[in-house]
Amino acid sequence: MGTVVADMTMSVDGFIADPDDGVGPLFDWYDEGDVEFTFPGNGMESRVSAASAGHLERVVSELGALVTGRRLYDVAHAWSGSHPAGVPVFVVTHTPPGSAPSGSTPFTFVTDGVESAIAQAQAAAGAKTVVIASANVASQALDAGLLDVINVSLAPVMLGRGIPFFSGLKRYPVMLEDPVIVPGSRVTHMYFRVRRQRQPTRASGTAAPCR
């Protein structure tokens, strides 16, 4: 089965969106270069730096399926039925919508949890990568030991508050390998492989050092 990757743009202070789900300056890097990149799923065009174009080309070429949460699905208005990545999308939800939107993307609504969604996505992707594009789903996958790589596109902005990339982890600390770093324009792409040796869960009530 293919690698499972969490891939999102994040502010320097750890947020992937503001409290109202807006991305604002986080996505400035999609229009900060002179290399045109066209997303295969819906023809959306961006002009990025050469380094960011290489990052996007690698992610898209290796991608076989996407896993997301219902919140992002709703905020994005189901991408008007055609996700930019052009691959099957598996949506983790308690209550599926009445019908899937019409468009080029096959949507599957998974009601029995993140592990099931990832398994179904891996079956669809074959040897290709499964990307998780949802903060809450990524945290659950990391807790379950199902996440192989964390891709962070770090934007040079501090939001102050908002939706964190990872929060509420039940198993920590999580050790990562040294990052591969690709500087772009208005963004730095960083790739961390997750170490498989998991540390014990910190017991509740254990004194933590002052910070």
As a three-state string, the secondary structure of the chain is CCCEEEEEEEECCCEEECCCCCCHHHHHHHECCCEEEECCCCCCEEEECHHHHHHHHHHHHHEEEEEEEHHHHHHCHHHHHCCCCCCCEEEECCCCCCCCCCCCCCEEEECCCHHHHHHHHHHHHCCCEEEECCHHHHHHHHHCCCCCEEEEEEECCCCCCCEECCCCCCCCCCCECCCEEEECCCCEEEEEEECCCCCCCCCCCCCCCCC
Q: Of the given ranges (32-41, 100-109, 196-205), which has the lowest mean pLDDT?
A: 196-205
Q: Of the given ranges (35-44, 83-92, 200-209), which has the lowest mean pLDDT?
A: 200-209
**What is the tens place of the pLDDT at every residue in 80-136?**
999 999 999 999 999 999 888 899 999 999 999 999 999 999 999 999 999 999 999
pLDDT band for 1, please (50, 70, 90 cuts). Answer: confident
- CB neighbour list of residue 196: distance below 8 Å, 6 or more residues apart: 145
pLDDT band for 209, please (50, 70, 90 cuts). Answer: very low
Q: Tell me: pLDDT of 211 over 80.
A: no
User: With pLDDT > 70 as the criterion, what percentage of the chain qualifies?
Assistant: 93
What pLDDT was estimated at residue 99?
Answer: 86
What pLDDT was estimated at residue 11?
Answer: 98
Dihedrals φ, ψ of 29, to 5°?
Answer: -65, -15
**Mean pLDDT of the region 39-45:** 96
Give the pTM.
0.90
pLDDT band for 206, please (50, 70, 90 cuts). Answer: very low
Query: Do the Cβ atoms of 92 and 68 come closer than 8 Å?
Result: yes
pLDDT band for 21, please (50, 70, 90 cuts). Answer: very high
Q: Of the given ranges (50-54, 106-110, 172-176, 205-209), which has the lowest mean pLDDT?
A: 205-209
Q: Tell me: pLDDT of 207 over 50.
A: no
pLDDT band for 5, please (50, 70, 90 cuts). Answer: very high
Amino acid at 186: R
Domains and CATH numbers, the chain: 4-193 (3.40.430.10)
